[in-house]
Amino acid sequence: MQISITKTTNPAAKPAPDTLGFGKIFTDHMFLMDWTEGEGWHDARIVPFGPLSIHPASTVLHYGSEIFEGLKAYRRADGQVQLFRPIENIRRMNNSAQRMCLPQIPEDMALEALTEFVKVEQEWTPSAPGTSLYLRPFMFGNDESLGVHAVHNATYVLIASPVGSYYKEGINPVKIMIETEDVRAVRGGTGEAKCGGNYAASNRAGKRAEEKGYSQVLWLDGVHRKYIEEVGAMNVMFKIKGEIVTPALSGSILPGITRKSIIEVLKDKGYTVSERLLSIDELTAAMADGTLEEAWGCGTAAVVSPIGELAYEGRQYPVNGGEIGPVTQMLYDTLTGIQWGKTPDPYGWTVQL
Ligand code: PLP
Ligand code: COI
């Protein structure tokens, strides 16, 4: 692929690590390419970061034709920059595109876009503990017409943001509220696609939870309102009587790459992992009789995030005394060890630039 590069004449100063937070600061450049039905992907370019100009009738503004991904570049102790399982994000984006009738991107083209862009921006990869360069590829339908149909024009963009921790709590336990009014997704809908609309529709419940002092909501399935699904931006796992339980990928849950990686690590270490239905009744019973030993969320942005309290129908259930548990800590250490190149990567998950 031919990528034209136009460097900024006005590079920004790199931020201090303690000012990072999540997704508020952006690097100097962005990658774009366009797709039309006749021409396919073309005009790949890295240009100075700045506003996009969009036609007011563009599909994305009216009908929500948008998908995205999230992955990170990590600074190793030896100064090298590496990505974590980028091919998994590329494949998931193509699955999301398929669901939303957006164009596929050939895997080698998507990987080249990512690596060439990160090479240009690699100085922005911070090195302080717990920091990384968050990469946000996204694609939107960009027909300049109000008809509702599969698009004939699309744009792919890649932006990057140096980040610290996603939650203000960092690795400290978060409080999660089990949502009983709104639902996030149903089978056959868009729950397993990473599309912007899923997040827009979840904001009302998220706002209610935040007002009550919770970080995010835990969704129940949309049909029975009975089975645990996932958290706002994370998959979820529980340790109940020694068994590690995570909801099976039913079609309405995002197939997380962190989830998949953790399952592999756990199985390697000899844990029993069950991907199955977990009902709210089973969970509340385990919370009430103390057999819920640990609970955590997992995702790229949040990494592994211990859950210190779950609330359901007005009742609060502390988990592991509100402390991070040993399995949660082990998973955090193992995963971040591989991601930051502090420990060997026996799985071949990391890709150095
Ligand atoms: N579930 C939702 C709804 C998410 O937004 C995310 C974040 O990407 C995840 C789960 C975790 O996925 P991953 O581990 O691939 O980041
Ligand atoms: C991620 O973990 O990459 C996510 O996409 C979470 C995000 C919606 C902030």
299 lines ligand 2 (CB under 6 A): yes
How does pLDDT run across 10-53, given as a tens digit for each residue?
999 999 999 999 999 999 999 999 999 999 999 999 999 999 99
How many Å lie between the centroid of ligand 2 and the Cα of residue 145? 30
| Mean pLDDT, the chain, integer | 96
Which residue is closest in CA terms to ligand 1's atom 1? Answer: 234
Q: Which of 90, 183, 235 to mutate to test the pocket of ligand 1 (most atoms within 8 A of CB)?
A: 235
| 254 ligand 1 Cβ < 6 A | yes
Mean pLDDT along residues 58-68: 98
Paired residues of 234 in beta bridges? 231
Mean pLDDT, rounded, for 200-227 = 96
The pLDDT > 70 percentage for the chain reads 100
- Residue 171 has a pLDDT of 83
pLDDT digits (tens, 9 = 90+) for 332-353: 999 999 999 999 999 999 999 9
pLDDT greater than 90 at residue 175 = yes
Overall pTM surpassing 0.85 (yes/no) = yes
pLDDT value at residue 105:
98
47/91 Cα distance (integer angstroms): 25
Q: Is the CB of 154 under 6 A from ligand 1?
A: no
**Is 90 exceeded by the pLDDT of residue 158?**
yes
User: Is the beta carbon of 70 within 6 A of some atom in ligand 2?
Assistant: yes
Neighbour-count burial for 173-205, b at 16+ CB within 10 Å, e otherwise = bbbbbbbeebbbbeeebbbbbbbbbbeeebeeb
The DSSP secondary-structure symbol of 169 reads T
At how many degrees (to 10) do helices 257-268 and 326-339 cross? 110
